[in-house]
Amino acid sequence: MRRPTRDNAESQRRITRRALILGGAQAGFGGLLAWRMHFMQVDQADEFRLLADENRINIRLIPPSRGRIFDREGRVVAENIPSYRITMVREQAGDVQQVIARLAQLVELDPDELDRAMRDLHDLRGDTPVTIADRITWDDLSRVAVNAPALPGITPEVGLSRRYPQGANYAHIVGYVGPVSDKDLARIDAPDQLLRIPRFQVGKIGLEARREDPLRGKAGTKRVEVNAAGRIMRELDRVEGNAGSDFQISIESALQSYVHARLKTESAAAVVMNCETGDLLACVSTPSFDPNLFVRGISQTDYSALLENKYRPLPNKAVQGVYPPGSTFKMVTALAALEADQAQAEDTVHCPGFLEVSDRKFHCWKRSGHGNMNLHTSLRESCDVYFYEMALRTGIENISAMARKLGLGVKHDLAMTSVAKGLAPTKAWKAEVKGAEWVIGDSVNASIGQGFVLASPLQLAVMTARIATGRSVTPRLIKSIDGVEQPTGYGTSMDINENHLRQVRKAMFAVSNSRRGTAYGSRVAVESMQMAGKTGTAQVRSAVVNNSSVPWEQRDHALFVNFAPFDNPKIAVAVVVEHGGGGSKVAAPIARDITLQALYGEDPPLSAYPSKDRGRIRAQQERLRRERLEAEANTSDRA
């Protein structure tokens, strides 16, 4: 049946409306799409171009070359050597396990090192380069480079690693570097981005740690183009950083090596100081260790051996160790009494072998007594009773003030870690720290360097240099930075009566050169090289027992300080031998040998020694010379 014309017209209108609506919608959508395309391609072109460049271009830090360290004569003490390594960037590698499996077929991977790398890959940002293998050979590096297309995210690199060619001789002074730890980062308010690079090395102890910032330098940057697999295609530009500063220290390597060899069999420390400038010419703690072991990652076996050694090779005894100074402190007590006008050099004190104070007997080392003693004879023969009496007259406040003026109880500013302050005790100190009142017996003990008094070998050397010169000489380790000379430690007048200093110096001369002096057996035979010194024996237990009858750990410490030549002081020396026994028998001969070696600049002639010692000294020189040569050869082999 045919539809009416009216129905056809209505149907036609309906179709036309729908077509218009659909066409309008299509046109609107097309317009919207055109606008969006214009917006993205024109208005946001720069933004998308930047995003594309960020995917194509990487900006990477260029670690700076660490500053070198040289000795007094310009010999290298710490240097940088080429080191080959393989790094991985996680987000460029894809399947990390698969890439490492391929890498393991080309290069032998250390399991412990690989475990650390896997933790870093998991914990750090995906764009951070992580070291997979370090200190590989050139052949290993070449194999990885040839197979680069099959190793996405893997990059063979040539970097620098720290090396200490002098080995153990400078371990306690220069220290060593190691990978940045969380503890290192926690100490820094705003860590340099370099420190975020896995395995980046920073100074851990010694000069390396105390002067980390100038030694590290400033990082550079480079822009590199990478492909879809993260492989570097080309370097676009580079901004070089600044290499670390080069440091020259005051230590004389030949003397440092000799002192190490001379102290080798002892748990000991020795400091040699220039009286004019304060320069440390030698600063030795024995036994020592090879710092290169720590740079390369010390094994648990080697580290345990260092920790379990009863002679404690890791601490720097020369600046960190503190000991009762024993009779080497008697010059402090003498000067305090003279300056306080509580005694004259000619005044005598009778020594019957003890002094009774508050119903307690304080004994002299010579139980039969010394008889009448004045300043000169009491220092020469180290009479204790004379100094007990000086303490009673002078008081602990004056004694401690003099100790600080001479450099004891003071933390000296040196570029080494754990420099000890020592202790020059006062009444206020005991009340605050011990919660007790100062008693007269404390002053008596302090007068001979026992009781609460503590000093490091460095401080004893400073004390000796100040007595020798009358100036507040301060120790200096850094001689120059990038060739620029650093201020010396010449010092100013201590404002101590020169006549009082002269009396003490004469008494110290008698210690070493008078037949009744406690160090006469270790005298110098050449008149122009004669030294002035003082022996010391520091008790480590209250009971008086013969050292040979007790275990090593319970024996007294042996000490000796001296300056030389007497008429024109050039060097000051301090020696401490832990549990060595008597200062005159153990420490004084060592200090005499070190003094002559420093003054002559080489093995001294046998004529510098008393005739009775020359045969023994000849054999000792030959042995030490041989041992130094062997140590140098071993260090070269390890390097």
* From 253, 257, 288, 327, active-site residue: 327
Phi-psi region at 451: left, alpha or beta (left = phi > 0; alpha = psi -120 to 50): left
Give, rounded to a whole angstrom, the gap between the first and last alpha carbons of the chain.
110
* Structure token pair of residue 507: 């008494």
Residue 538, classed as helix, strand or coil, is: strand
The answer to whether the CB of 511 falls within 8 A of the CB of 534 is yes
570/598 Cα distance (integer angstroms) = 10
Q: Using the Cα atoms of residue 538, residue 544, residue 548 and residue 553 in order, give the sign of their dihedral.
A: negative
Q: Which amino acid is at 266?
A: E
Residue 237 pairs with which residues in a beta bridge? 223
Any catalytic annotation for residue 636? no
HEC assignment per residue over 35-70: HHHHHHHHHCHHHHHHHHHHHHEEEEEECCCCCCEE
Q: What does the DSSP assignment read for 74-103? A: S-EEEEEEEEEEEEEEHHHHSSHHHHHHHH
Nearest to 338 by CA among 467, 220, 188, 166: 467
333/327 Cα distance (integer angstroms) = 10
295/307 Cα distance (integer angstroms) = 18
Q: What burial letters (b/e) apply to 64-77, b meaning 16+ CB within 10 Å? A: bebbbbbbbeeeeb
Element (H, E) at 393: helix 384-394
542/589 Cα distance (integer angstroms) = 27
Q: Which amino acid is at 369?
A: G
Nearest to 169 by CA among 75, 244, 245: 75
Longest distance between any two alpha carbons in the chain, whole Å: 156
115/121 Cα distance (integer angstroms) = 10
The answer to whether the CB of 232 falls within 8 A of the CB of 92 is no
584/559 Cα distance (integer angstroms) = 8
517/382 Cα distance (integer angstroms) = 8
Q: Using the Cα atoms of residue 425, residue 429, residue 431 and residue 432 in order, give the sign of their dihedral.
A: negative
Nearest to 174 by CA among 269, 268, 261, 285: 285
Q: Which residues are catalytic, by number?
A: 327
